[in-house]
Amino acid sequence: MADKQPVNSLAEQVMARLIADIRGGRLAPGTRLPTEQALTTELGVSRTVVREAVAALRADGLVVTRRGSGAYVADPAAGPFRIASPRAPSLPDILDVMELRLAVEVEAAALAAERASRRQLATIRTAWRAIDAALLRGEGAVAEDFAFHRAIAEATGNDQFPRFLAYLGSHVIPRQSVRLDVDTPAQRRLYLERIQAEHAQIVAAISDKDPSEARRAMRDHLTRSLERYRTLAGGIRNGRR
């Protein structure tokens, strides 16, 4: 009863097999993969199963099908990006993702400082005040914090930044609230206020249109956050180097 996924469906097995063939290079991009009938006889499954596996691969962008002609291995560039180890992400995994997030956000802050329109700047300030408001109400401000960071990403004018951040955020942010619960309310309040002070520096730098200062402030902010997690990890992964 330890492992819960004994490869449930046949379709998944076939899919795994085909993915292995593609990623392993046995099926080069552009080549036609075996016909459905060939796969049914070779793998000993029904055509339904094969078709479902191929449909899944097509959804992942790994193959394209042409009716009457066959299914072809797509350009590998078409595949999506997934955070590694979607099941049971360990704390080291989360730290890795947070480092990636730091990289993107630091640059986002700088670009925002260069490019933010007045309207975008106002949105950032509003999001910042919303965190204040939540703190005054004595609440956590996870959602508000996320909105603040997203506002900065949107101010870059580059749609890739908010999109990627939203993707990363959905993997990282939820754990933060867990961490806060271990503190006493007083500690927690102090912690949140310090974070808000860091936020203030970021807002100031962006308002001043000072990219390098925005970079420094955002890096400080996220590095501290990262360090807090790293001490949590503690013995699990002490020195990586």
Residue 63 C-beta: closest distance to DNA, Å:
10
- Binding stretches for a second copy (CB under 8 A): 8-9, 11, 15, 48, 51-53, 55-61, 67, 76-84, 86, 96-97, 99-100, 102-104, 106-108, 111, 114-115, 117, 156-161, 163-164, 167, 170-171, 174, 240-241
Nearer to a second copy, 99 or 193 (CB): 99
Contact 58, 65 (CB under 8 A): yes
Distance between CA atoms of residues 192 and 70, nearest Å: 58
Residue 68: contacted member of DNA, a second copy, none (CB under 5 to 8 Å, by partner type): DNA
Nearer to a second copy, 52 or 145 (CB): 52
Roughly how many angstroms between the first and final C-alpha of the chain, as a whole number?
37
Q: Is 26 in the site for DNA (CB under 7 A)?
A: no
Burial letters for 183-194: b for 16+ Cβ neighbours within 10 Å, e otherwise? eeeeebeeebee
Phi, psi of 33 (to 5 degrees): -90, 165
Contact 155, 112 (CB under 8 A): yes
Distance between CA atoms of residues 166 and 192, nearest Å: 22
Q: Is 45 in the site for DNA (CB under 7 A)?
A: yes
Among 69, 184, 231, 238, binds DNA (CB under 7 A): 69
Residue 135 C-beta: closest distance to a second copy, Å:
26
Q: Is 31 in the site for DNA (CB under 7 A)?
A: no
- Cβ neighbors of 207 (< 8 A, separation 6 or more) are 121, 125
Among 1, 4, 25, 66, binds DNA (CB under 7 A): 66
